[in-house]
Amino acid sequence: MKKYLILNLIAFLFICICLSGCNESKTPGRTPEEKIIGAWERSDGRILKVYENSSYSVSYDDVSGIGWGVWDITETHITLYWYGLGTGYTYEFKNNDNTLEITEVGTGVVIVYARVD
C-alpha cells in the first residue's frame, strides 16, 4: 500500500511540475513595445502607424498627417500624446497579436485595429 501511495505522490508531483509551464505567453519574449510597432487599420479605414522612436501618425484614406504624436506603453496601458495632451487606453492583443483592441480610460469607448504590415 505504501508503494502505491509513494508512486501516486511522485506521479502527482511530476504532473504539477509539467503543468506549471503551461501559462506561457502566445509570443514569448516579445515586449508590448515590440508588439505595437507597425501599421494598424480601423474598420473605417483610418490607419495608425506606430514607430520604434515612440512616435505615431494617423492617416485616413491615404491622406497622411491627420494626427501625430508620441506614445508610451506599459504592461496594461498605452497613452497617445497629441499636442501635449495624453489619452490613456487599456489594450489587449488578440488573434496572435494581429488584432489590437484599445479601450479609452474614462469613457469605455472600444476601438479595434487590425495589423496591416
CATH number for the domain spanning 73: value is 2.40.128.290
What does the CA dihedral 45, 105, 70, 72 come to, rounded to 10 degrees?
-120
Neighbours of 106 (CB within 10 A): 9
* Domain count across the chain: 1
Domain assignment present for 27: no
Domain assignment present for 108: yes
| Parent domain of 44 | 35-117
pLDDT of residue 90 exceeding 50, the answer is yes
Ramachandran class of 85: left when φ > 0, alpha when ψ lies in -120 to 50, beta otherwise: beta
Residues 47-62 have a mean pLDDT of: 89
Domain assignment present for 24: no
> pTM above 0.85?
no
Q: Which range has the worst mean pLDDT, 24-33, 80-89, 103-112?
A: 24-33
pLDDT greater at residue 23 or residue 76? 76
The Cα–Cα gap between 11 and 30 comes to 34
Q: What is the pLDDT of residues 2-48, one digit of tens each?
A: 665 554 445 454 554 544 554 444 446 789 999 999 999 999 999 99
E strands, 12-76, are 38-41, 46-50, 55-60, 63-73
